Structure 1
Amino acid sequence: MSNNVITLIARILLSFMFIFAGFGKLTDPASTAGMIAGAGLPASTALTYLAGLFELATGLAVLVGFQVRIVGWLLAVFCVFTGVVFHLSPVNVPDFPAAANGWINALNFVNFMKNVTLAGAYIMLATNGAGAYSLDARRGAYATA
């Protein structure tokens, strides 16, 4: 299998999370707005919609291979930021048993590690470009690193 086919498959897989997460935030913002408010950030509903638009737009850009070098860096920064702000600190849900809070914290740390790992994948995408099967290639903007 050629590197361009593998890059296309990788782009498809890397796009799904942000397309679906962005769509979810735009259609049902309540849980994300609560998480943002819980982190102490202001204007949680507005930030939820901004995050949803960002995730949907960047996910679609990765999927079709448009401006992937720029979008890859943006998503890498986004993954590290959201990992640190929302998944690194301990969670304590009032009235939950200690074991349940421990389980939630373990899952939260897994999400932190997922974000850091995805940042690495997006840096690799930003560095290597979208590949031959992309809008970048059709526009003449594709070049290997």
Structure 2
Amino acid sequence: MHDFGLLIARLLLGVPFVIWGFLKLRGGEAKLVPVLAGLGLPDATALAYLVGLCELVGGIGVVLGYPVRTFGVLLGLWCLVTGYAAHRKDLNAMLSHIAMAGGFFALAAAGAGALALFGGDPTGVLADVQ
């Protein structure tokens, strides 16, 4: 039951990031560019594509559960930074980002469970990261 619960958590946290990343890479960056430019960030178009790529890769890593501890921490920090930087004027959006960050940090602490790629345990270079 524990491993099944971790699989559900990984799907609920990772799939939205896969979708958001895919949409940004398929033309959705046009909505993000004005927001990034409004924050005063340089080269907003390239940064929007980078955001999409990070969300896609991170979401896939969480869904597969490999290496979930690394991606959990990175996406948790991502949610905190984007919640503050882009949504601090919208309390509900900022709180949802904080809640997602909490889910990612809890997943990073719990691990991927047995129902993950390689059992959630990375090998090689990634084994040293965790």
Same fold by TM (over 0.5)? yes
Q: Which amino acid is the alignment partner of residue 67 of structure 1?
A: P
Question: Is the contact made by 2:80 and 2:101 (CA closer than 8 Å) also made in structure 1?
Answer: yes
In 2, the alpha carbon distance for the partners of 1:57 and 1:140 equals 16
Cα distance, 1:139 vs structure 2: 5.1
TM-score (norm 1): 0.80
Cα distance, 1:136 vs structure 2: 4.0
**Structure 2 residue aligned with 1:30:** 30
Of structures 1 and 2, the larger Rg is shown by 1
**Structure 2 residue aligned with 1:129:** 111
Q: Which amino acid is the alignment partner of residue 75 of structure 2?
A: L
Structure 1 or 2: more helix by fraction: 2
In 2, the alpha carbon distance for the partners of 1:78 and 1:4 equals 25
List structure 1 segments (4+ residues) > 3 angstroms apart after TM superposition. Answer: 138-141
Question: Is the contact made by 1:67 and 1:136 (CA closer than 8 Å) also made in structure 2?
Answer: no
In 1, the alpha carbon distance for the partners of 2:53 and 2:65 equals 18
Cα distance 1:113–1:76, how it changes in 2: closer, same or farther (>3 A)? same
In 1, the alpha carbon distance for the partners of 2:32 and 2:16 equals 15
TM-score (norm 2): 0.89
Question: Is the contact made by 1:11 and 1:65 (CA closer than 8 Å) also made in structure 2?
Answer: yes
Cα distance, 1:17 vs structure 2: 1.3
**Structure 2 residue aligned with 1:19:** 18
Q: Which amino acid is the alignment partner of residue 38 of structure 2?
A: G
**Structure 1 residue aligned with 2:96:** 114
Structure 1 alignment gaps of length 5 or more: 90-107
With CA pairs under 8 Å and 6+ residues apart, which has the higher RCO, 1 or 2? 2
In 2, the alpha carbon distance for the partners of 1:84 and 1:140 equals 31
Question: Is the contact made by 1:11 and 1:63 (CA closer than 8 Å) also made in structure 2?
Answer: yes
Cα distance 1:136–1:114, how it changes in 2: closer, same or farther (>3 A)? farther
**Structure 2 residue aligned with 1:97:** none
**Structure 1 residue aligned with 2:69:** 69
C-alpha RMSD over aligned residues: 1.6
Aligned residue-pair number: 123
